Amino acid sequence: MTSQWWRRVGYAALTFIGLSASAVSYAQDQHSYARLDEISTPHLQLDINLDFAKQQVSGQATYQLQHGDNDRGVLRMDTRDLSIHSVQVELGDNWRDTDFELKAADPVLGSELVIAVPAEATAVRIDYTSAPTASGLQWLTPEQTEGKQKPFMFSQSQAIHARSWIPIQDTPALRLTYKAHVTTRDDLLVVMSAENELPVKRDGDYHFNMPQPIPTYLIAIAAGDLAWQKISDNVAVYAEPAMVEKAAWEFADTPKMIAATEKLYGPYRWDRYDLLILPPSFPFGGMENPRLSFITPTSIAGDRSLVSLIAHELAHSWSGNLVTNASWRDLWLNEGFTSYVENRIMEELYGKERALMEQALAYDDLQEDLHSLPADQTVLNIELGKRNPDDVFSQVPYVKGQLFLMYLEDKFGRERFDQFVRGYFDAFAFQSISTEQFKQYLSRELLVKYPGIVSITEVNQWLHDSGLPADAPHPTSPVFAKVDKQLQDWFAGESLHTDGWTTQHWLYLISQLPSDISLEDMARLDEQFKLTQSANSEIAYAWLRLAIQRDYQTVQPRLRQYLLSIGRNKFVVPLYSELAKTPENLAWARKVYADARPGYHPLTQSKVDQILGKPTKQ
């Protein structure tokens, strides 16, 4: 490939978002060694092999270079536990070896890779191998999959884990396009957060293209025994064969969600929107990788009651993927906007009643975090320093951020606020921005245009103060008031009338049970409604957590099975935390964890290790 080709790619990446190289403004990210004002990398060509036997990625990462005004002849990149074999730079039409140094590892940031880059170099090529322990990859044995026949691998690059499987400038301030050539076993299908053409032939040799510039944490890959089923012309589901039909039915409303969001906030700009249903060890509910959201199988309830997760990941196609937080202290820009848009999608498709129930449940979850977190961790524009950005993923950026936007909607009116949000997505499309940039846009487009409604002081209180302002929205649901009345009657000896109840009704009821509920009353509820054996992962989690708190020992076999079969952090981390509060439960939990740990994602292992200690049995 010639230097002229690289220049065309670089120009295209910048002109795609309507910016010249000199107009690009980069925020300083304390969680990356990258110095984008010196040299940046707007395009990646990834050529890798997935070796399941060795559980490693190996190959080359080739970057087009953009020399900045502060170019010092050094390219600084992020790595974690990577072996760097050689580095070359492109000078004219020739590739030449160049000096590089892999610095000592920081426990959070990993190792800085420092590469000597002459001013005339147009590209850099890094030959590397990942470690089997890469924090951003999970390699599953056949026994850990649904089908039990073939292995599986998937990535989780957010927040700063892309550096564990690609040497990269791992900051959301950078947006890059990428192409990839991936080889692996010929009986496995590989998919990426890029163009995935359907139908696809399994041959162990795959090519991908991501033409829109994305932040590095959205580079994603998975490989396994995957089937696919079409939902619409631009939506399909990938999953293991036994799961794909269930998933396609569960998420059949996805095209309607896309149409509803486009009506509210403008066009979907990523061409396709596909879903990949991962094995149960996936540590999150979903990951918004563009064109291919990664989804937990725990969202498949059989009644479409948990599809707000799909609405959330889809909403990221506007908030997060299209307009991105420039650093992890600005996470609320991704998650607060997305939680707000998610709820608007749910209202459009399923009505105000459903949307209000979900707002009220989210508010209660936020209150729990506000009471348990230190005050400085309840700030939206949080001061992270160099703490691990994974630690900032509480309900604060999600729900407090959502409430802030609901507050603005209430103050300015929905019509004005919808115009503002749509304009925001258009103004910053394919850019990474800071909270300060948001404040400037908010001031210009709402506060100044409509004076006397909301002051900058009030905005700053939301963004920079701990907790919630006194006049923050407190969503309540009249449906839940009826549940409260029924619950009172049930304790008085009457029956619960649960016909037509949804997951949200049950979650609310469990959350409202007294903290000192008797074991007799728990057994009575359990006998009537089979809560311990609920196949709904959300209801089962809420019930099992209460059972641990009340020492309702009946659940122990089910709790063990739950912890062994699900690796989603939202569920397993709080359950282990509850178990760790008494010596007897702690001893039992450690035995369960020793068996469960090999099937958990590295991120989940790290969190539970902190609670229980790393088991000696491996």
Place of tokens 């282990």: 576
Distances (CA, A) of 361 to 17, 174, 320: 38, 35, 23
Using DSSP's 3-state secondary structure scheme, residue 17 falls into coil
Q: Are 17 and 136 in contact (CB under 8 A)?
A: no
Q: Are 388 and 606 in contact (CB under 8 A)?
A: no
Domain final residue pick, 317, 335, 358: 317
Which structural domain range is residue 330 located in? Answer: 319-464
pLDDT at 19: 40
Binding site for a peptide, by residue number, is: 156-158, 283-288, 568-570
Same domain, 310 and 420: no
Number of domains in the chain: 4
- Would you say residue 43 lies in a domain? yes
Query: How many residues are recorded in the chain?
Result: 618
Same domain, 180 and 33: yes
- Would you say residue 472 lies in a domain? no
pLDDT at 15: 39
Same domain, 411 and 435: yes
pLDDT at 617: 52
Per-residue pLDDT reduced to its tens digit, 408-437: 999 999 999 999 999 999 999 999 999 999
Distance CA 376, CA 391 (A): 13
Distances (CA, A) of 445 to 98, 129, 214, 310, 440: 49, 48, 26, 30, 9
Give the domain CATH number at 350: 1.10.390.10
Using DSSP's 3-state secondary structure scheme, residue 67 falls into strand
Domain final residue pick, 435, 464, 493: 464
Place of tokens 């940039």: 437
Six-digit token string for 401: 């951020």
Residues 178, 363, 398, 600: which is the catalytic one? 398
Give the domain CATH number at 524: 1.25.40.320
- Would you say residue 474 lies in a domain? no
Kindly give the parts of the chain with pLDDT less than 50. Answer: 1-26, 618
Residues 313, 342, 347, 538: which is the catalytic one? 313
Same domain, 541 and 604: yes
- Would you say residue 284 lies in a domain? yes
Strand partners of residue 128:
59, 84
- Would you say residue 617 lies in a domain? no
Same domain, 578 and 446: no
Of 363, 348, 370, 352, which is closest to residue 407 (Cα–Cα)?
363
424 part of the active site: no
Six-digit token string for 607: 């969190």
Same domain, 343 and 436: yes
Give the domain CATH number at 255: 3.30.2010.30
- Would you say residue 469 lies in a domain? no
Binding site for Zn(2+), by residue number, is: 312, 316, 335
Same domain, 180 and 284: no
- Would you say residue 134 lies in a domain? yes
Domain final residue pick, 258, 289, 317: 317
pLDDT at 221: 98
Same domain, 451 and 556: no
Binding site, by residue number, is: 156-158, 283-288, 312, 316, 335, 568-570
Same domain, 349 and 207: no
- Would you say residue 473 lies in a domain? no
Same domain, 329 and 311: no
pLDDT at 399: 98
Same domain, 20 and 113: yes
Per-residue pLDDT reduced to its tens digit, 239-261: 999 999 999 999 999 999 999 99
313 part of the active site: yes
Return the C-alpha torsion angle 464, 469, 472, 478, nearest 10: 130
